[in-house]
Structure 1
């Protein structure tokens, strides 16, 4: 029995005996837990600061991008307004150009019309003058021929005494 009791005491002292176990497989779990605890305590502040600064940078970048988007939208709206104004100005210029073209064409038309009217008036006047000159020439020629015929008839039908009397009468009429 003594051996039984010795065995129990030996077993009980082994149970309550705390000693460092050098077996690497049995102690790994404790080492990992201790390592994680130490890392958590030591790296906590570093990670917190790093993540906070990173979060702030991301928030600043997002805010900057939103500001740039707002600025870009404002510039786009301003560009659209300017485009609309330029479009209105171009339409006005085109209308003015069309009006100017019409006015110039009317002016050229009127000037050409006046020039042609003057030229036609001058041509008609020249034709009337030539017609009158030709008519006067024809009348003169007809009068000459008629006078020559009358003179020839008178010469043939009247004698010298009668011719002298007619000539004297005509000279007397001219003198009066």
Structure 2
């Protein structure tokens, strides 16, 4: 292996440092670095300053928008609270109104039931009186018919005459 490397190393020469400033371009590199050192901060500085100003302006705008959004949020929260209070009031009023309607409906239903019950009771008592009167008439009629049927066989002439006189006396006293 050394035999292979020997011709390669022999053809390139020996290893060492080249200290000749013209051959190594040290002067050119020093000029370029000095130029960059001198001019790059101004060029990059102005670019960075413009970028910094733009970023600060964007941050200022963002802060303004944040403040505006915060105020809008606070206003929206106040309006939401007011709307919730109004909705609660409407709900409360609706429940009270529904309760009043329900109570009024119950009251009217009870009144109607009482009226119907009184009407039924009145109708019942009227019908009972009518039936009672009819039964009395029927009983009186039957009693008169029975009495008239039995009377001729039970009364003789003197008893009939005495009964008629007594009935006439009763009619006269009335």
TM-score by length of 2: 0.72
User: Which range is displaced more, 98-107 or 34-43?
Assistant: 34-43
Instruction: Write out aligned runs for 1:54-93 (5 A).
Output: 54-93=51-90
Match among 103, 106, 118 for residue 106 of structure 1 = 103
1:77-111 residue CA offsets vs partner (Å, 9 max, x unmatched): 22222221122112111111111111111111011
Q: Distance in 1 between matches of 2:96 and 2:154?
A: 84
Structure with greater Cα Rg: 1
**1:166 maps to which residue?**
164
**2:120 maps to which residue?**
123
Q: Distance in 1 between matches of 2:84 and 2:64?
A: 30
**Unmatched tracts of structure 2, length 5 or more:** 1-19
Aligned-pair CA distance for 1:23: 2.6
TM-score by length of 1: 0.72
Q: Secondary structure at the match of 2:106?
A: helix
**Unmatched tracts of structure 1, length 5 or more:** 1-20
Q: Which has the higher contact order (CA 8 A, sep 6+)?
A: 1
Q: Distance in 2 between matches of 1:137 and 1:36?
A: 142
Aligned length: 153
